[in-house]
Amino acid sequence: MNARRAAILIAAPLGLLYASLFIGRFAVPPLEVGRILWAHLAALPHTWPASLETIVVEIRLPRAVMALFLGAGLSASGAAYQGMFRNPLVSPDILGVTAASGFGAAVALLLSSSALELQLISFAFGLLGVLLTYMLARVYRTTPVLMLVLSGVVVAAFFGAMLSAVKYIADPESKLPAITYWLLGSLNAVSTRSLAMALPPILIGGTGLMLLRYRLNVLAMGEEDARALGVRTERVKGAIIVCTTLITAAAVSVCGIVGWVGLVVPHLCRMLVGPDHRALIPAAISVGATYLLFIDDVARTATAGEIPLGILTAIVGAPFFAYLLRRTRGTWR
Interface residues toward other proteins, by CB under 8 A: 83, 86, 211-215, 217-218, 220-222, 224-232, 270, 274-276, 278, 332-333
Q: What is the DSSP string of 208-230?
A: HHHHTHHHHHHHHT-HHHHHHTT
Nearest to 244 by CA among 292, 212, 289, 291: 212
Q: Please, which residue, 87 or 191, has the CB nearer to other proteins?
A: 87
Cβ 232 to other proteins shortest distance, Å: 5
Cβ 304 to other proteins shortest distance, Å: 45
* Residues 266-294: b if buried by 16+ CB within 10 A, e if exposed: bbbbbeebebebebbbbbbbbbbbbbbbb
Cβ 238 to other proteins shortest distance, Å: 13
Cβ 141 to other proteins shortest distance, Å: 12
Q: Please, which residue, 1 or 59, has the CB nearer to other proteins?
A: 1
Cβ 200 to other proteins shortest distance, Å: 20
Q: Please, which residue, 16 or 212, has the CB nearer to other proteins?
A: 212
Q: Please, which residue, 244 or 253, has the CB nearer to other proteins?
A: 244
Cα 11 from Cα 159, distance rounded (Å): 40
> Is the separation of the CB atoms in 55 and 253 below 8 Å?
no
Burial class (CB in 10 A: 0-12, 13-18, 19+), 304: exposed
Q: Please, which residue, 75 or 186, has the CB nearer to other proteins?
A: 75
Q: Please, which residue, 23 or 226, has the CB nearer to other proteins?
A: 226
Q: Please, which residue, 81 or 182, has the CB nearer to other proteins?
A: 81
Cβ 235 to other proteins shortest distance, Å: 9
Q: Please, which residue, 188 or 217, has the CB nearer to other proteins?
A: 217
Cβ 288 to other proteins shortest distance, Å: 19
Backbone angles phi, psi at 172, to 5 degrees: -65, -15
Nearest to 133 by CA among 283, 272, 245: 245
> Is the separation of the CB atoms in 119 and 197 below 8 Å?
yes
Cβ 222 to other proteins shortest distance, Å: 6
> Is the separation of the CB atoms in 79 and 135 below 8 Å?
no
Backbone angles phi, psi at 239, to 5 degrees: -65, -40
Q: CA–CA distance from 76 to each of 82, 83, 122, 232 (Å)?
A: 10, 11, 21, 22
